[in-house]
Amino acid sequence: MKVISATSELEVAVSFFKELGLTVGLVPTMGALHNGHASLVKKCVAENDVCIVSVFVNPTQFNNANDLATYPRTLEADCKLLESLGANIAFAPTVDQIYPYPDTRQFDFTPLDKVMEGPMRPGHFNGVAQVVSRLFDITKPNRAYFGEKDFQQLAIIREMCRKYGYNDLEIVGCPIVREESGLALSSRNARLSDSQKKTAVGISKALFDSKNIKNSKNVAETKQWVVDTINAIDGMEVEYYEIVDGNTLQPISDWKETSYPVGCITVYLGDVRLIDNIKY
């Protein structure tokens, strides 16, 4: 596996692959890789001739300076894992390689970015679109792989491709990977103590349990039950829980409104912000 930090070097490599008629797969990450990322990389390796994994903590998608500063960075360990998984290139650029000049582009994903994470993290999805589009332009992939844990992000990236000219690129959504306890894998889990990780299991447990009570409760009652159940656990506070149409991301008020209801949640455990979702 080759580790590349210069955009120009990667572009030359991609041109060579394309001249040979090879398919290129991209797995965009912010590093601190775990088994969730590994599942994406394995799928990318299996489905493409060349697998490129980017490792870049993108500053433009953080609206909280402390969150950016404390985001875990483990490049050496990440590269060892990627090599063991069969990735061909780890792209680990500096900020000035991705943004040689300030990126002032503004993207519009209405109404997808006006709900859930949108109001809570102003500018976040615009930053995601900036970096992902840059990575697409640099690597020119045939397929790109994203985890369904970031459910809203995945929907917005699909919309970006439709709306901003990446129509030939296949976006592959991959299922959430969980620990045996049910806790969704996340790079932010590295910031949790052992006792906090045990507490965090309450998030997925409440979501799974809510599937069992869905038939006896309406949407509003189900939402309130999940919020009350998690808030009753010492140390956790729900920022929001929405049950939405999985295609439009718009909140529903009746189960009959959609055949694809998805519950999306954000919870603070101490100062660590955790997200998860469940398909009803």
Which of the residues are catalytic? Answer: 37
DSSP 21-86: T--EEEEEE-S---HHHHHHHHHHHHH-SEEEEEE---GGG-S-HHHHHHS---HHHHHHHHHHHT
124 DSSP β-pair partners: none
Q: How many CA atoms lie within 13 A of 254 on its CB side?
A: 2
**For residue 237, what are its two tokens?**
């506070």
Cβ atoms 53, 31 nearer than 8 A: no
Interatomic CA distance for residues 268 and 236, integer angstroms? 6
DSSP, res 93: -
Q: What is the largest CA-CA distance in the chain?
A: 58
SS (H, E, C) 137-172: HHHCCCEEEEECCCHHHHHHHHHHHHHCCCCCCEEE
